[in-house]
Amino acid sequence: MSIELEHVSYVYNPGTPAQWQALRDVSLTIRPGEFVGLIGATGSGKSTLVQHMNGLLRPTSGRVRVFGMDTSDPRTDLTRVRQRVGLVFQYPEHQLFAATVAEELAYGPTNLGLAPEEVQRRVRWALRAVGLGEELLTRSPFSLSGGQARRVALAGVLAMRPDVLVLDEPAAGLDPLGRREILDLIRNLHREGMTIVLVSHSMEDVAELATRVVVLDQGRVVMDGPPRELFRRHRELAALGLAAPVAAQLVDALKARGWPVPGQAVTIREAVAEVTAALAARRRERRPEGGREGGRAGV
């Protein structure tokens, strides 16, 4: 098991007027090779939860084990925990600080105490992994475009060679192309065997990428399962302030109106396939009738 959370609760500012319970009895296991989508309305505890996954926060009660290491145990070396679970915060380009991209990428591996040659190897590997060329190594990270800076920041975490990568809204604030690039990149990392936890507001992204979806509401895990199953329950999701992917809502509405669609789609591509198949079937039905146009036009 990669990450195990057992009955985790977390309270911010205990004993003050600003006391706030962010997590309530969360039990969750992240298995190797999974792609977990973590969704929930603002304030549902997503960010607090992901910070437990690499020991940045320690549970007020309950236990978190990362590859067997208990993060609350004072003997646990948290640097080792953070090496195995890479955490990419929202707008990670805001944490860039070094004079060159090379130095920026070397920061994590150097903190791990690796030999200089190994650090250099990882710097080059990480840069390639995010699809950037080596000509960027000598550039200042502050001179890069938004999408490039985001990818350099991501590479800065990847250079630590984590087994699990946790990303908080990695595509937020990017243009459609930059968004596409980042998501493709994450998909590739997963294909190459990395375990991924993706926090996102975008149901579309989660539907497309995740193999499992966990829904948080007011600090509790309220749903946990395959995206296809979960996004069928869009009434429940709506009650939690979340919307199922547009594609799932569309095929459900069509099915309710009597269209011959399976109603299983959760991504746009799948919805297109279902609708075109239904249209093709309808055309085949009509042809023998002798070209009479009409019926329910406009549906």
Partner 1 sequence: MFNITLGQYYPGRSFLHQVDPRTKILATLVYSVFIFLVKEPEGFYLVAGFALLAMAASRIPPLTLIRGLRPILIFLVITLAFNAFMTPGETLWGWGPFRVTREGLAFGGLMALRLVLLVLVTSLLTLTTTPIALTDGLERLLRPFQRLGLPAAELALMMTIALRFVPTLFDEAQRILRAQQARGARLRVRGPLAQMQALLPILVPLFVAAFRRADELAVAMEARGYRGGRGRTRMRELRYTWRDGVTALAVAAFAAGVVYLRLLAG
CA distances from 118 to 23, 114, 115, 122, 160 (A): 39, 6, 5, 6, 11
Q: Which stretch binds partner 1 (CB under 8 A): 85-93, 231-239, 262-270, 288-296?
A: 85-93
Contact letters for partner 1, residues 136-175 (x by CB under 8 A): ------x-------------xx--x---------------
Sheet holding 3-12, edge to edge: 20-30, 3-12, 61-66, 69-70
Please report whether residue 61 would count as binding partner 1 according to CB under 8 A: no
Interacting residues of 208 by C-beta distance below 8 A, sequence separation 6+ = 183, 267
Please report whether residue 67 would count as binding partner 1 according to CB under 8 A: no
If you search the block for the tokens 């309270």, which residue do you land on? Answer: 11
CA distance 203 to 254: 20
Q: Residue 39 or 167: which CB sits closer to partner 1?
A: 167
Please report whether residue 107 would count as binding partner 1 according to CB under 8 A: yes
Q: Residue 90 or 276: which CB sits closer to partner 1?
A: 90
Smallest gap from Cβ 142 to partner 1, in A, equals 7
Q: Rounded to a whole number, what is the distance in angstroms from the first to the last CA of the chain? A: 49
Please report whether residue 112 would count as binding partner 1 according to CB under 8 A: yes
The sign of the dihedral angle between the CA atoms of 206, 87, 137, 150 is positive
Single out the residue of 44, 78, 58 nearest to residue 5, CA to CA.
Answer: 58
CA distances from 192 to 29, 125, 149, 158 (A): 21, 14, 23, 13
Tokens at residue 69, please?
A: 């290491």
Tokens at residue 240, please?
A: 């939690």
Q: Which stretch binds partner 1 (CB under 8 A): 108-116, 120-128, 186-194, 204-212?
A: 108-116
Q: Residue 110 or 211: which CB sits closer to partner 1?
A: 110
Please report whether residue 10 would count as binding partner 1 according to CB under 8 A: no
Taking CB under 8 A as the criterion, the residue among 35, 89, 231, 259 binding partner 1 is 89
Please report whether residue 280 would count as binding partner 1 according to CB under 8 A: no
Please report whether residue 188 would count as binding partner 1 according to CB under 8 A: no
Q: How many residues bind partner 1 (CB under 8 A)?
A: 24
Please report whether residue 95 would count as binding partner 1 according to CB under 8 A: yes
Please report whether residue 71 would count as binding partner 1 according to CB under 8 A: no
Interacting residues of 116 by C-beta distance below 8 A, sequence separation 6+ = none
Taking CB under 8 A as the criterion, the residue among 54, 71, 200, 249 binding partner 1 is 54
Please report whether residue 56 would count as binding partner 1 according to CB under 8 A: yes
296: left (phi over 0), alpha (psi -120 to 50) or beta: beta
> What is the contact surface with partner 1 in residues (CB under 8 A)?
51, 54, 56, 79, 82-83, 86-89, 92, 94-98, 107-108, 111-112, 142, 156-157, 160
